């Protein structure tokens, strides 16, 4: 049976387009309900909003050069979803009477740095952010007492759960030409980077996580725990069909 794993990227394009149509049919959350936002959560959401609003043009350029028009199209649709996350977070903050942050210099440096990377390394870096985001939005969805906040986080989380298997698949193909020890080294480095990023976010967003009833330790531990099955899938060691489940750890 053909599915997203055995087919080319046409299936991912169809999936992203179906989601876009579903989004249009559902419409936006009711922003006019307003949001009661804890100050620690405001600071945390503001930082994530800037991150979601990252520059997708470098990734699109690299995807174009990779020579698969279906993949390039899927990447454009992925970037559009990330921009929609930034838009929804900005509207959520506005509904709570809070502003968005001007981009921080560190984001500008990060964007510039990413431009220097090849598609493979860029995707590994992007996957760090995506996997941390999975745990973060789950914490917000399940722990925020404000209903509008929980709804926005739930919508973003549902997208991120599709993004992770999408990038996993591409990474598996990109690493496939490497010998097994090379693939292992790359995924181990990725897991190390992810563990570091998870710990930094746990500390940095500690007050917001406390408000969401998630300890820093539990946050960092969950991020680390989710990395094993994903690293296996990227290496091609795990069953490809399990990617979606791995994203839900
Ligand atoms: Fe996102
Ligand atoms: Fe994402």
Domain for residue 2, yes or no?
A: no
Domain for residue 166, yes or no?
A: yes
From the CA of 153, which ligand is nearest? 1
pLDDT at 177: 93
Residue 128 CA to ligand 1 centre (angstroms): 12
pLDDT at 110: 73
CATH code of the domain in which 73 resides: 1.20.1260.10
- Three-state SS sequence of the chain: CCCCCCCCCHHHHHHHHHHHHHHHHHCCCCHHHCCCCCHHHHHHHHHHHHHHCCCCHHHHHHHHHCCCHHHHHHHHHHHHHHHHHHHHHHHHHHHCCCCCCCCCHHHHHHHHHHHHCCHHHHHHHHHHHHHHHHHHHHHHHHHCCCHHHHHHHHHHHHHHHHHHHHHHHHHHHHHCCCCHHHHHHHHHHHHHHHHHHHHHHHHHCHHHHHHCCCCHHHHHHHHHHHHHHHHHHHHCCCCHHHHHHHHCC
Give per-residue pLDDT as tens, 84-119: 999 999 999 999 999 999 877 777 777 777 778 888
pTM: 0.92
Residue 1 CA to ligand 2 centre (angstroms): 28
Q: Residue ranges of the chain with pLDDT lower than 70? A: 1-6, 238-249
Domain for residue 177, yes or no?
A: yes
Residue 37 CA to ligand 2 centre (angstroms): 23
Task: Write out the residues surrounding ion ligand 2, Cβ under 5 A.
Answer: 130, 160, 163
Residue 151 CA to ligand 1 centre (angstroms): 15
Residue 211 CA to ligand 2 centre (angstroms): 24
Residue 137 CA to ligand 1 centre (angstroms): 9
Domain for residue 28, yes or no?
A: no
pLDDT at 238: 58
Domain for residue 114, yes or no?
A: yes
The number of folded domains in the chain is 1
Domain for residue 21, yes or no?
A: no
Domain for residue 199, yes or no?
A: yes
pLDDT at 117: 85
- For residue 130, the enclosing domain spans 10-15+35-247
Domain for residue 24, yes or no?
A: no
Residue 176 CA to ligand 1 centre (angstroms): 27
């Amino acid at each position: 049976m053909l599915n997203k794993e055995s087919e080319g990227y046409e299936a991912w394009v169809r999936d992203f387009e179906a989601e876009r149509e579903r989004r249009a049919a559902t419409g936006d959350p009711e922003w006019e309900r307003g949001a009661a936002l804890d100050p620690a959560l405001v600071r945390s959401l503001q930082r994530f909003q800037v991150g979601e609003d990252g520059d997708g043009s470098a990734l699109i350029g690299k995807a174009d050069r990779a020579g698969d028009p279906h993949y390039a199209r899927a990447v454009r649709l992925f970037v559009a979803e990330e921009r929609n996350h930034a838009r929804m977070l900005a509207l959520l903050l506005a509904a709570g009477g809070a502003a968005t942050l001007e981009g921080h210099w560190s984001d500008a440096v990060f964007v510039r740095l990413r431009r220097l990377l090849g598609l493979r390394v860029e995707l590994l870096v992007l996957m760090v952010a995506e996997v941390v985001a999975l745990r973060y939005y789950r914490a917000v969805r399940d722990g925020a007492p404000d209903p509008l906040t929980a709804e926005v986080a739930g919508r973003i989380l549902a997208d991120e759960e599709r993004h992770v298997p999408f990038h996993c698949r591409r990474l598996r193909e990109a690493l496939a030409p490497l010998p097994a020890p090379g693939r292992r080294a790359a995924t181990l480095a990725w897991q190390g980077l992810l563990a570091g990023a998870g710990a930094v976010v746990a500390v940095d967003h500690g007050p917001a996580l406390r408000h969401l009833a998630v300890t820093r330790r539990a946050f960092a531990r969950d991020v680390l725990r989710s990395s094993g099955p994903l690293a296996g899938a990227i290496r091609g060691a795990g069953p490809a069909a399990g990617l979606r489940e791995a994203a839900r750890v």
